[in-house]
Each structure stands twice: as C-alpha cells, then as structure tokens.
Amino acid sequence: MISPEKIEAIRRMMDEASVYEEDLEETFILGGGPGGQKTNKTSSVVRLAHGPSGLAVKCGETRSRETNRWLARRILAETILEREHRRKSAARQAKEKVRRQKRRRSRRQKDKMLQDKHKRSEVKAARRKISPDD
C-alpha cells in the first residue's frame, strides 16, 4: 500500500504536469509474469491514457491494483514533465545558438582569424603552378 504522503506527492506532480483525473481513461488488464496463478488470473495491470497529451502508460509492477493505479499516475506525470523539460531545453539551446552567432568577435579574435586566413592564403599561393610569364 502506498502511504498518504506519497499519494499527496503524486497528486502535486500531476498538478504540476496539468494531468487531471477527468482527462484520464483508466483500464485494467490481466497481469502476467512472476507472482503465480493469482497474478495471471486478476486484472491488476493498469493502463492510463491521457487524452490531451495522447500518452498512454501501463503499470503492472505490483500485484496490487490500487498500488499500480498510483504508480501509473506517477509515471504519466513524470513522462509529461520530462517531455516539457526537453522541449524547453531545446528552445533555450536554439536561442543561445542564435545569440552566439550574432555576437561580435573581440579585437583579439578578429586579429587571430585574419592571421590564420593570411597563412592559409600563403599555403594556397605556394601550390599554384608556375606560369611561363614569371
């Protein structure tokens, strides 16, 4: 059984992820795996579908249906929060990249770049074929 404190923590996480009970479609599926005949005969696996995000998660970690219900809600909320974090992070990285591209070079960087270009120009000039006019 899950403690009331953990249930409250899961509810807070669901609020943070904007997951509301009315948006959830809950179904119960026959279990499988270790646990014997009891597990295979009872519908203790929980499948949660979240309409607004289009996500669906399945949880059958324990033999208890009630525990699996809360664990499935936690997994769903974590998945939604992680997806949102990745989206924000990608947007932040794109914004930072544009900022770096637009930034002016310092005088020292500019001088170094011009020196490198000059060296490269000399290397290329040394490769030229010698024409009969020279």
Give the pLDDT band of residue 134 (cuts 50, 70, 90). low
Provide the edge-to-edge strand list for the sheet that holds 24-29.
24-29, 45-50, 55-59
Query: Residue 74 falls within a domain, yes or no?
Result: yes
- Model pTM? 0.69
Query: Residue 108 falls within a domain, yes or no?
Result: no
Mean pLDDT of the 10-17 span: 92
Q: Which residues of 41-60 are buried (b: 16+ CB within 10 A; e: fewer)?
A: eeebbbbbbbeebeeebebb
Neighbours of 67 (CB within 10 A): 16
Range list of H helices, 17-130: 37-41, 65-102, 107-127
Residue 59: which domain range?
A: 4-97
Structural domain tally of the chain?
Answer: 1
Torsions phi, psi for 43 (to 5 deg): -90, 75
Mean pLDDT of the 69-90 span: 94
Look up the CATH number of the domain holding residue 71.
3.30.160.20
Query: Residue 14 falls within a domain, yes or no?
Result: yes
